C-alpha cells in the first residue's frame, strides 16, 4: 500500500482523528435569533435570555442540586457564604442538558474552533449575608495578554429570581472591549436582574462578579463554562466523571468533556482517538 504524502501538518487531519475529527451537530435554533444574540454579544459583551427554561424545568434542576450543596467556599473568591458543587455531572444527570442548551451552543459555534470544551459545570448557591465577589473576567487565569478575543465563555442559569438584593450577578457592559485595564470606581456596574429560568451568556473577557446577598433567601444558579479546544479545562473532567457515566452521555457532551480531538492529534491517547477509551 502506498503511504499518503504528508507535506504539512494539515495533511494529518484525517490520520489520528479519522472520521471523528469534528463533531457536527445541527442546532435547532432560529438563525435570526442566533444572529440577534451574536450582535448583542459583540456590542455589550453579554446576552440575557429571559425565561429560557420553564418553571417546571427549574424546579426539577433545583430538586436535584439542593441536596448536593453542603460546604461553603474556602476563600473570598469562592465566597465564605456561598455553596458550590464541583464535578456536577458525576453527581446528577439533571443538569446535562443545560450544558448543551442549543441556544448557548449556537453562540459557542460562532466564538470558538470546533470541538470546544466544557471547562466546568458548577452549582452555585449564594446564601444570605454573602458579600460581593470581586469583579473579574472568567478567562483571566490564562496567561495570554489582552487585548484579545475571549478564550472562554460562560452561561449562568438563574434557578431563583436574580434581584438587586439577593446576589444577582454584577456586570460591566462593554467591558469585553477593554484592553489590559482593570475596573475603576468610575465604571458603571449593574445587576443582571432576571426572573428564574432565565440565563445570561458572556465571553471570557467580560468583567463580572457575584453580588451581595442582603435578602433573607439564598440565590441558586448553575453556570456552565467553556473554552477553546486547545486549552486546558478548569476541571479535569475526564478524571472527574467516571467512564460508566460518560458512556451514557450524549455524543456532544462526551466531546465537550474531552473525548474529542482537535485535529490532527491534540487530545489523543496512545495515538488514538480518546473515544476508544470508552470501549475498553
Q: Where are the beta strands (DSSP E) in 71-151?
A: 82-85, 117-126, 136-137
All structural domains of the chain, each given as residue ranges with its CATH number in brackets, are: 20-279 (2.60.120.620)
Span 24-33, pLDDT tens digits: 677 889 999 9
Q: What is the mean pLDDT of residues 65-78?
A: 91
Contacts of 30 (CB under 8 A, 6+ apart): none
Model pLDDT, residue 79? 84
Span 28-50, pLDDT tens digits: 899 999 999 999 999 999 999 99
Model pTM score: 0.91
Mean pLDDT of the chain, nearest integer: 92
Longest CA span, the chain: 73
Task: Give the C-alpha separation, 225 to 154, whole Å.
Answer: 4
Span 187-234, pLDDT tens digits: 999 999 999 999 999 999 999 999 999 999 999 999 999 999 999 999
Amino acid at each position: 500500500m502506498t503511504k499518503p504524502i504528508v507535506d504539512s501538518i494539515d495533511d494529518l487531519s484525517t490520520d489520528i482523528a479519522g472520521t471523528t475529527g469534528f463533531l457536527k451537530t445541527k442546532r435547532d435554533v432560529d438563525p435570526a435569533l442566533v444572529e440577534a444574540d451574536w450582535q448583542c454579544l459583540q456590542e455589550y459583551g453579554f446576552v440575557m435570555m429571559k425565561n429560557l427554561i420553564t418553571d417546571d424545568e427549574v424546579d426539577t434542576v433545583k430538586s436535584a442540586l439542593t441536596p448536593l450543596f453542603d460546604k461553603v467556599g474556602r476563600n473570598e473568591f469562592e465566597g465564605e457564604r456561598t455553596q458550590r458543587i464541583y464535578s456536577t455531572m458525576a453527581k446528577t444527570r439533571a443538569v446535562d442538558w443545560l450544558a448543551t442548551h442549543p441556544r448557548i451552543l449556537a453562540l459557542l459555534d460562532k466564538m470558538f474552533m470546533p470541538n470546544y470544551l466544557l471547562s466546568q459545570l458548577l452549582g452555585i448557591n449564594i446564601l444570605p449575608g454573602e458579600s460581593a465577589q470581586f469583579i473579574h473576567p472568567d478567562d483571566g487565569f490564562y496567561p495570554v495578554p489582552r487585548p484579545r478575543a475571549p478564550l472562554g465563555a460562560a452561561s449562568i442559569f438563574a434557578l431563583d429570581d436574580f434581584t438587586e438584593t439577593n446576589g444577582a450577578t454584577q456586570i460591566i457592559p462593554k467591558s469585553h472591549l477593554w484592553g489590559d485595564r482593570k475596573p475603576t470606581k468610575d465604571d458603571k456596574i449593574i445587576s443582571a436582574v432576571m426572573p428564574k429560568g432565565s440565563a445570561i451568556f458572556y465571553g471570557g473577557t467580560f468583567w463580572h462578579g457575584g453580588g451581595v446577598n442582603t435578602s433573607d433567601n439564598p440565590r441558586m444558579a448553575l453556570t456552565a463554562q467553556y473554552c477553546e479546544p486547545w486549552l486546558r479545562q478548569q476541571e479535569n473532567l475526564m478524571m472527574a466523571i467516571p467512564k460508566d457515566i460518560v458512556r451514557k452521555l450524549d455524543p456532544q457532551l462526551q466531546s465537550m468533556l474531552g473525548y474529542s480531538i482537535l485535529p490532527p492529534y491534540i487530545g489523543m491517547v496512545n495515538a488514538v482517538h480518546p473515544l476508544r477509551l470508552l470501549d475498553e
